[in-house]
Structure 1
């Protein structure tokens, strides 16, 4: 191994540390408050959403955690998440599973969805986010680090063309 190959990984870590950036295992840069930074949707997801006629702003309701349906409160953890549609989202029918990532570092939970798995069909790439108005994805003050306790198990899910 050359000297450059040995030094490069350390240089990248040092540069990231000095600039204040942090990245998650999926390569998403984190802001100083622990929330994920901007991220583009993959071309594959954009193509799949066009094919399914899903447009930016199309929305539905989702059970945030398929393992805590109708629970109050619910606890979400940093990392992967499986959610379930409560009603149709375009051609994605009720009970379609949405797979994504949860970040609990900031004052509100951030959930980004990257895949949909309709019943009796193959998984398809998508770009969507969980949303609720009036700060209802704000985690409760008794949430421990790496977790978010929410008062509701249901949120809105909206199609996006990029994560901001």
Structure 2
């Protein structure tokens, strides 16, 4: 994280799914995800990509990011999670197994020291 000039707790807004930017509602599926930075994040400039994994089994979506790809650089390791307050990562009731519908396509990516 030092390479990216990021510390635990640092955060930035991301478009959760690069394929659904600007959507009022976003549908996410279990498996890999590509998110897009909406603002600077340490040495990462927008629109750098964040790569991670989505889990939809519980009442809220869990997204963990493992790598970042700067606009003009090589992919680097990252340890971050997507978060929003007020239950905004909670799945919509019409979500089916293996997928989640969220009311909004933006979240914050927070740097963490480990996944729990």
TM normalised by structure 1 equals: 0.70
- Size of the aligned set, in residue pairs, is 116
Looking at structure 2, the residues matched to 159 and 57 of structure 1 have their Cα atoms a distance apart, in angstroms, of 5
Looking at structure 2, the residues matched to 104 and 72 of structure 1 have their Cα atoms a distance apart, in angstroms, of 19
Question: Is the partner of 2:108 in helix, strand or coil?
Answer: strand
| Equivalent residue, structure 2, for 1:66 | 18
Q: What value does the CA root-mean-square deviation take over the aligned residues?
A: 0.6
The structure whose residues are more often strand, as a share, is: 2
Q: Which structure 1 segments of 5+ residues have no match?
A: 1-48
Q: Which structure 2 segments of 5+ residues have no match?
A: none
1:85 aligns with 2:68: no
1:128 aligns with 2:80: yes
Q: In the TM superposition, what whole-angstrom CA distance separates every residue of 1:26-70 from its partner, at most 9, and x where no partner exists? A: xxxxxxxxxxxxxxxxxxxxxxx1222210000000000000001
| Equivalent residue, structure 2, for 1:9 | none
The structure whose residues are more often helix, as a share, is: 1
Looking at structure 2, the residues matched to 51 and 102 of structure 1 have their Cα atoms a distance apart, in angstroms, of 25
Question: Could you say which structure has the larger radius of gyration?
Answer: 1
